Amino acid sequence: MELLVLFGVLFLLLALGVPVGYALLGSALSCFGVMGIPPIVAVQRVAAGISVFTLMAIPFFIFAGDLMYRAGIAERLVRVADAAVGRVRGGLGLVDVGASMMFGAVSGSAIASASAIGSSMVPLMKDKGYPGDYAVNVTVTAAIVGLLIPPSHNMIIYSAASGIGVSIGDLFVAGVIPGLLTGLMLMATAWIVARRRALPYGAFPGWREFMRAAVFAIPGLLTAVIIMGGILSGIFTPTESSAIAVIYTILVGVLVYRSLGWTAFWEAAQKSVRTASMVLFIIAAATAFGFALALLEVPAALASLIGFITENPLLTLLIINIMLLALGTFMDMAPLIVITTPIFLPVAMGVGVDPVHFGIIMMLNLGIGLVTPPVGSVLFVGSAVGKIPVTTLVKTIWPFYFTLIAALMLITYIPGLSLWLPGVLAE
């Protein structure tokens, strides 16, 4: 009965359009009421959910990403990508993916990437004769790469939710090769689709223009180098690196690019506060929901169920991936990380999966949910940027979905893609 109330209230509230954070908290309170647990417990769990030091990095990384967009870093990354790969058929699609990979390396946010790169690339692609649905589909799926290429604030959430102190630095490093692989696969898909739809060629501007674009992009790209270099060398922690990313972005925007003024800074601060508050509230509410699941012994029951079905590591990971993909279609990424990590991580570790490797699997798996209706937030951002209905986008996005699934399978079943680089750097 308690489990029925927990999920029944959750699905009812979501169906009524209640925001995810309030739906999670409302379902947890309803469950506690049926179980005879005082409501103060929910308040305590909410407070405990955000009383984690590493979560301090999230507001700073969100702020840094918005500052990068307003400082014109995204626009400069588009230029260097265009000069590098824009000359092939459908070249602007490859440019979109390349720029998203570079922006992901300095912002770590799929929504920020879809907004920043999409606002530059989608209108440009339309002007050059590209179909609007192609432009948006490339943009939103390429934005997912930013969840893998460090820094990624979702990796910080996973580390906090794991309960075993998974190294944020190892997670950041582990995402590099999977991120590059996924990006290259999306580039290949964009090129194949462009050939089948006979999209236009681009023009190579010459090596001088390429070098000029690359030089102007270097200050922005150095953000990722400073963050990762500082973390790996032990100069500063991942939490400290987020604050340093904000300071460095301000310096680049004001002193180097000279495109970041007080108005843009204030707008970025306001938007970042709203976004960070929403993310942290969802994490806090998801913690209360997860506590209710733990009281009802759902993690243990699910682990037993999967163990009853199979003890084969390959099949176990396949089942977990299918469950996560299904959950990702109707719930946002942050609450799913908080709720599902304590459930599935012990199961995965029980069949020999490294927690760092499993974290990368979760990043891409739940990232796919961000571009999957009915609750794909990145897909809706792309729809708004491109002014194209989601129903139109999903009719032609399938090749990119299949590519992301293929990348997920490779990352899932080839652990070395995630673990090789952390192992090398640890030696």
- How confident is the model over 66-86, as pLDDT tens digits? 787 787 776 777 777 766 665
The structure's pTM equals 0.83
Contacts 24+ apart (CB under 8 A), 325-330: 325/365, 325/368, 325/369, 325/372, 327/369, 328/365, 328/366, 328/368, 328/369, 328/370, 328/372, 329/369, 329/372, 329/373, 329/374, 329/375, 329/376, 330/14, 330/374, 330/375
- Region 342-348: mean pLDDT is 89
258 torsion bin: left (phi>0), alpha (psi -120 to 50), beta (else): left
Residue 402: pLDDT band by 50, 70, 90 thresholds?
Answer: very high
Residue 105: pLDDT band by 50, 70, 90 thresholds?
Answer: low
Task: Find the domain containing 297 and state its range.
Answer: 1-426
Residue 178: pLDDT band by 50, 70, 90 thresholds?
Answer: very high
Q: How many domains does the chain have?
A: 1
pLDDT for residue 206 is more than 80: no
pLDDT of 85 reads 62
Contact 126, 80 (CB under 8 A): no
* Dihedral Cα 253, 370, 93, 220, nearest 10 deg: 20
Residue 359: pLDDT band by 50, 70, 90 thresholds?
Answer: very high
pLDDT of 205 reads 64
pLDDT for residue 298 is more than 90: no
Side-chain-side CA neighbours of 314 within 13 Å: the count stands at: 4
Residue 410: pLDDT band by 50, 70, 90 thresholds?
Answer: very high
- Region 356-362: mean pLDDT is 96
Q: Determine the 3-state secondary structure of 357 from DSSP.
A: helix
- From residue 334, how far is each of 118, 161, 165, 203, 235 by CA, in Å? 22, 10, 18, 41, 28
Q: Which residues of 383-403 are buried (b: 16+ CB within 10 A; e: fewer)?
A: bebbebebeebbeebebbbeb
Q: Which of 91, 90, 87, 142 is nearest to 118 (CA)?
A: 142
Task: Choose between 185 and 275: higher pLDDT.
Answer: 185
Structure tokens at 170: 């190892």
pLDDT of 175 reads 92
% of the chain with per-residue pLDDT over 90:
21
Q: What is the DSSP letter of 397?
A: -
Contacts 24+ apart (CB under 8 A), 206-209: 209/83
Q: Which of 179, 141, 118, 137 is nearest to 360 (CA)?
A: 179
